[in-house]
């Protein structure tokens, strides 16, 4: 066995050593070959660019001799002669698009291409402004597109003087970038996978072969060549990653004459390496397969058994994971459907509550004092129903986040009424709040949902009954891991006497979709919501558990300074008359029938319509109420939100107040800049909102 193992080892090691030596030698050879091809192509491209620039200089010198030292008026008088002379110089020069002579004001004197040249003002050109400022020498422009023929060119220009020795104008030779592009295409045909570029010293690219849609018009400052140019190196060879496609290339570049013009050639290093890898693959196929057969034969049975065992385990894990994911998805879909159903029911229920509330207010003004006892009882029932709707929306996560200062000493009894029905008769609930507990700043509905989730988990952990304890107190200064700061905290400890959680699972319980319950009995979202709620208010959550003894979840929430309790709105029926004209847009007849007299009792004159288009018609006819009061959800092309947007665009000064029974719309509409009231709203809230809109 030892000899067989040694032979098997040598049969692998020896070929690998041979492959490694062959690969290193091949890599060095491929790198040298790439360098040679890039350098050879650069010499050809540089020589071509140098000849083109030398020819352009000769043509420019001839034009210079024709116009330098001449009177401007005299030059304009021989435009035809100059045109013909310039044309002769470009007939056999395909690289030259045109020669253009401009006077000191930037007006064309003569062109090799057009006669007469259109009377345009070219003084705004880059090259003209360069020479107008008195800068010496020739100027190489950035890539331009000609105004007459829409051809891409690079301009080489020089200034000349008039008969008084002052600035007389500019001679500009436009070179076609397509001429270079075509030449580079022929050059690359002999050198596949080669890229050739012509660019200015500041990175402006005149042309590049090959060209594609992702090729930038300018080299990035972090490009390898640009870094070398900033270091003062006018020529060189380097290896680096192109910022265009992030591919490694061998790059060579060189400056053309005294111009800030550069030619570069580049080739991807992986092209010759690909050929090397093909050779290695062929060698491997010829030598490695027999060796591999010897090794594989001895291990096939063991590997097959191990593979089958591992596959079975993975299949079991995958099946369980899929079941949990599918169950979590079904539960999430149920929650979403419940939320939508609850939101719709709450809207209609809120409309009904608003009808009752408005009519109660009107009855208080008209019914004799002997009936006030019954009316107050109905009012308390309306308030209780409103709180019930809010709790339903909180459970279905359709209630918007509205942070407020909360005294847990006062709010936990109401939350207790929400939790008791969930626990059932077998679980005993105990709530203790330290009277000195500081207030917290949070959304009460989110706290209710967190405590509700913890209560459901505790109930499921105590199928035969037990006790659930909620204790609240000041926790003193605590360090928050996310910020590293110590802040004063209030802690809510929720403890049960249930089955507990294994220590190995405690680090995972706050993760979404993780649950210790059997498939189909839990989504794994409850504790993740609790953790997210605590983090959202700047606190954190901790959990401690012991199997068989129970679980304690501690919610640490930042405390705030005590505040004076906010006065509840007065419940009397007397208000300061508003004296305003209102346009009421409400499609529900029962709501409107209760709302119109209520608004009239507040001192408002009311015009009611049931559609947004009718309201727009009245506004178009010139009726301008002090306030447009509209429901959000209405039939027709425009709902209340669309009506508000239309009024804002057409009549910016018109004031608008919206009402909605959909709780999730409140925050979104407020973010749009519109005032919005929740349904049902009390007469006090309605009076305050209308009065606020008048200021």
Pairing of β 167-176 and β 96-103: antiparallel
- For the chain, how big is the Rg over CA atoms in Å? 42
Mean pLDDT for 30-50 is 86
pLDDT digits (tens, 9 = 90+) for 51-70: 999 999 999 999 999 999 99
Q: What percent of the chain has pLDDT over 90?
A: 24
Contacts within 8 Å (CB) and 24+ apart, 477-485? 478/556, 480/538, 480/539, 480/540, 481/540, 482/535, 482/540, 483/538
pLDDT of amino acid 147: 76
Does the pLDDT at position 540 exceed 70? yes
Where on the phi/psi map is residue 106: left (φ > 0), alpha (ψ -120 to 50), or beta?
A: left
Does the pLDDT at position 411 exceed 70? yes
Q: 668: pLDDT confidence band, cut at 50, 70 and 90?
A: confident
Residue 315 to residue 302: CA distance in whole angstroms: 20
pLDDT of amino acid 592: 86
143-147, 432-436, 514-518, 525-529: which range is least confident on average?
514-518
Strand partners, 678: 660
Mean pLDDT for 621-625 is 87
pLDDT of amino acid 124: 87
Mean pLDDT for 499-525 is 66
Does the pLDDT at position 569 exceed 50? no
* Three-class secondary structure assignment of 374-438: HHHHHHHHHHHHHHHHHHHHHHCCCCCCCEEEECHHHHHHHHHHHHHHHHCCCEEEEEEECCCCC
Residue 585 to residue 660: CA distance in whole angstroms: 12
Residue 683 to residue 680: CA distance in whole angstroms: 10
Q: What percent of the chain has pLDDT over 70?
A: 75
What's the maximum distance between 2 C-alpha atoms anywhere in the chain? 116
pLDDT of amino acid 554: 92
Residue 177 to residue 623: CA distance in whole angstroms: 66
Residue 691 to residue 695: CA distance in whole angstroms: 7
**pTM of the prediction?**
0.41
Do 477 and 488 form a contact (C-beta atoms < 8 A)?
A: yes
User: Quick check: bond before 116 cis, omega within 30?
Assistant: yes
Instruction: Provide the token pair at 578.
Output: 């508003």
List the beta strands (DSSP E) in 483-535: 486-496
Residue 206 to residue 175: CA distance in whole angstroms: 10
pLDDT of amino acid 567: 44
Does the pLDDT at position 649 exceed 50? yes
Do 418 and 452 form a contact (C-beta atoms < 8 A)?
A: yes
pLDDT of amino acid 502: 80
Helical pair 2-67 and 270-366, crossing angle rounded to 10 deg: 80
Does the pLDDT at position 32 exceed 90? no
Instruction: Provide the token pair at 57.
Output: 């200089």
Residue listed under structure tokens 């550069």: 262
Contacts within 8 Å (CB) and 24+ apart, 91-96? 93/55, 93/59, 94/176, 94/179, 95/52, 95/55, 95/56, 95/175, 95/176, 95/179, 95/180, 96/56, 96/59, 96/173, 96/174, 96/175, 96/176
Mean pLDDT for 353-357 is 74
Residue 473 to residue 436: CA distance in whole angstroms: 8
H runs (alpha helix) in 68-98: 72-77, 79-90
Mean pLDDT for 219-225 is 84
Residue of 497, 523, 34 lying closest to 237 (CA atoms): 34
Task: Give 170 or 560, the one with higher predicted confidence.
Answer: 170
pLDDT of amino acid 332: 57
Beta-carbon contacts of 218 under 8 Å, excluding residues fewer than 6 positions away, are: 203, 204, 205
Do 519 and 326 form a contact (C-beta atoms < 8 A)?
A: no
- DSSP 8-state code for residue 137: S
Beta-carbon contacts of 7 under 8 Å, excluding residues fewer than 6 positions away, are: 294
Mean pLDDT for 588-617 is 88
Mean pLDDT for 462-472 is 91
Q: 301: pLDDT confidence band, cut at 50, 70 and 90?
A: very low
Could you tell me the CA-to-CA distances from 347 to 17, 122, 448, 575, 632 in Å, in that order? 78, 68, 21, 28, 11
H runs (alpha helix) in 155-268: 177-190, 224-230
Residue 626 to residue 603: CA distance in whole angstroms: 13
pLDDT digits (tens, 9 = 90+) for 174-191: 999 999 999 988 888 777
Residue 593 to residue 358: CA distance in whole angstroms: 9
Cα distance from N-terminal residue to C-terminal residue, the chain: 98
Mean pLDDT for 660-666 is 66
63-72, 106-115, 377-386: which range is least confident on average?
377-386
Domains of the chain: 26-276 (3.30.450.20), 408-558 (3.30.565.10), 580-694 (3.40.50.2300)
User: Quick check: bond before 56 cis, omega within 30?
Assistant: no
Pairing of β 604-609 and β 656-660: unpaired
pLDDT digits (tens, 9 = 90+) for 305-347: 557 767 888 888 777 777 766 765 665 566 566 556 666 666 6
pLDDT of amino acid 387: 59
215-219, 235-239, 284-288, 670-674: which range is least confident on average?
284-288
Does the pLDDT at position 495 exceed 90? yes
Do 190 and 120 form a contact (C-beta atoms < 8 A)?
A: no
pLDDT of amino acid 467: 92
pLDDT of amino acid 513: 60
Does the pLDDT at position 483 exceed 80? no
Q: 101: pLDDT confidence band, cut at 50, 70 and 90?
A: very high
Residue 312 to residue 324: CA distance in whole angstroms: 18
Q: What's the burial of 345, exposed, middle or buried (CB within 10 Å: 0-12/13-18/19+)?
A: middle
pLDDT of amino acid 396: 53
Q: 568: pLDDT confidence band, cut at 50, 70 and 90?
A: very low
Residue 552 to residue 495: CA distance in whole angstroms: 4
Mean pLDDT for 525-549 is 82
pLDDT of amino acid 516: 59
349-353, 388-392, 471-475, 568-572: which range is least confident on average?
568-572
Residue of 271, 221, 276, 281 lying closest to 247 (CA atoms): 271
pLDDT of amino acid 176: 93
Mean pLDDT, rounded, of the chain: 80
pLDDT of amino acid 570: 43
pLDDT of amino acid 115: 85
Residue 567 to residue 550: CA distance in whole angstroms: 42
pLDDT of amino acid 618: 92
pLDDT digits (tens, 9 = 90+) for 191-216: 777 889 999 998 999 998 887 777 77
Instruction: Provide the token pair at 369.
Output: 């004092």
Highest-pLDDT range among 156-160, 272-276, 457-461, 602-606:
156-160
Task: Give 39 or 536, the one with higher predicted confidence.
Answer: 39
Does the pLDDT at position 71 exceed 80? yes
Strand partners, 496: 468, 551
Q: What's the burial of 85, exposed, middle or buried (CB within 10 Å: 0-12/13-18/19+)?
A: middle
Mean pLDDT for 102-118 is 88
pLDDT digits (tens, 9 = 90+) for 157-170: 999 999 888 999 99
Q: 600: pLDDT confidence band, cut at 50, 70 and 90?
A: confident
Could you tell me the CA-to-CA distances from 402 to 392, 419, 663, 664 in Å, in that order? 16, 21, 11, 11
Does the pLDDT at position 419 exceed 90? no
């Amino acid at each position: 066995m030892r000899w067989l193992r040694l032979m098997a080892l040598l049969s692998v090691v020896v070929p690998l050593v041979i492959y490694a030596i062959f690969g290193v030698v091949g890599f060095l050879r491929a790198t040298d070959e790439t360098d040679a091809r890039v350098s050879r192509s650069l010499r050809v491209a540089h020589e071509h660019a140098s000849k083109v620039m030398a020819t352009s200089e000769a043509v420019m010198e001839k034009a210079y001799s024709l116009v330098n030292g001449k009177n401007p008026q005299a030059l304009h008088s021989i435009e035809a002669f100059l045109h013909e002379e310039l044309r002769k110089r470009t007939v056999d020069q395909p690289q030259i698009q045109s020669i253009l002579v401009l006077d000191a004001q930037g007006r064309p004197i003569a062109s090799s291409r057009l006669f007469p040249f259109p009377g345009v003002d070219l003084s705004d050109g880059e090259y003209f402004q360069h020479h107008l400022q008195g800068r010496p020498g020739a100027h190489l422009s950035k890539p331009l597109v000609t105004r007459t023929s829409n051809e891409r060119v690079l301009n080489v220009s020089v200034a000349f003087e008039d008969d008084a020795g002052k600035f007389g104008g500019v001679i500009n030779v436009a070179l076609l970038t397509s001429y270079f592009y075509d030449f580079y295409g022929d050059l690359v045909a002999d050198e596949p996978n080669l890229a050739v570029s012509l660019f200015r010293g500041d990175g402006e690219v005149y042309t590049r072969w090959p060209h594609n849609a992702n090729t930038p018009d300018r080299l990035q400052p972090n490009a390898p060549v640009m870094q070398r140019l900033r270091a003062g190196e006018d020529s060189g060879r380097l290896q680096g990653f192109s910022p265009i496609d992030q591919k490694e290339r061998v790059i060579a570049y060189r400056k053309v004459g005294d111009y800030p013009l550069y030619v570069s050639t580049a080739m991807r290093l992986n092209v010759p390496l690909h050929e090397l890898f093909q050779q290695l693959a062929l060698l491997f196929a010829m030598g490695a397969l027999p060796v591999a057969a010897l090794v594989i034969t001895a291990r096939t049975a063991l590997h097959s058994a191990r593979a089958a065992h591992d596959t079975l385990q993975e299949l079991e894990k995958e099946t369980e994971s899929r079941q949990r994911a599918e169950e979590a998805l079904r539960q999430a879909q149920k929650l979403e459907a419940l939320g939508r159903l609850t939101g719709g029911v709450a809207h209609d229920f809120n409309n009904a509550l608003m009808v009752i509330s408005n009519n109660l207010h009107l009855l208080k003004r008209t019914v004799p004092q002997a009936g006030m006892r019954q009316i107050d009882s109905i009012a308390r029932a309306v308030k209780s129903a409103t709180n019930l709707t809010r709790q339903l929306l909180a459970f279905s996560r359709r209630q918007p986040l509205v942070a407020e200062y909360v005294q847990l000493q006062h709010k936990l009894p109401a939350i207790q009424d929400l939790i008791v029905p969930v626990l059932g008769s077998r679980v005993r609930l105990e709530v203790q709040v330290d009277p000195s507990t500081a207030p917290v700043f949070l959304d009460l509905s989110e706290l209710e949902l967190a405590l509700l989730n913890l209560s459901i988990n505790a109930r499921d952990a105590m199928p035969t009954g037990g006790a659930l304890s909620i204790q609240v107190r000041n926790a003193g200064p605590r360090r928050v891991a996310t910020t590293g700061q110590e802040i004063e905290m209030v802690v809510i400890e929720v403890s049960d006497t249930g089955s507990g959680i294994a220590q190995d699972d405690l680090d995972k319980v706050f993760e979404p979709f993780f649950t210790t319950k059997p498939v189909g009995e839990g989504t794994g979202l409850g504790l993740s919501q609790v953790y997210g709620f605590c983090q959202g208010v700047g606190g954190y959550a901790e959990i401690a558990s012991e199997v068989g003894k129970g679980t304690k979840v501690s919610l640490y929430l930042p405390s705030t300074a005590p505040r004076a309790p906010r006065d509840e709105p007065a419940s009397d029926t007397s208000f300061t008359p508003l004296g305003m004209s209102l346009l009421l847009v409400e499609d529900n007849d029962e709501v409107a029938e209760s709302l119109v007299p209520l608004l009239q009792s507040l001192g408002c004159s009311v015009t009611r319509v049931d559609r947004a288009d009718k309201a727009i018609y009245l506004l178009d006819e010139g009726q301008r109420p002090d306030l447009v009061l509209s429901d959000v959800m209405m039939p027709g092309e425009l709902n209340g939100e669309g009506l508000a947007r239309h009024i804002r665009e057409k009549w910016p000064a018109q004031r608008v107040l919206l009402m909605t029974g959909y709780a999730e719309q409140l925050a979104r509409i407020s973010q749009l800049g519109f005032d919005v009231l929740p349904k049902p709203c009390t007469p006090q809230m309605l009076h305050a909102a209308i009065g606020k809109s008048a200021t």
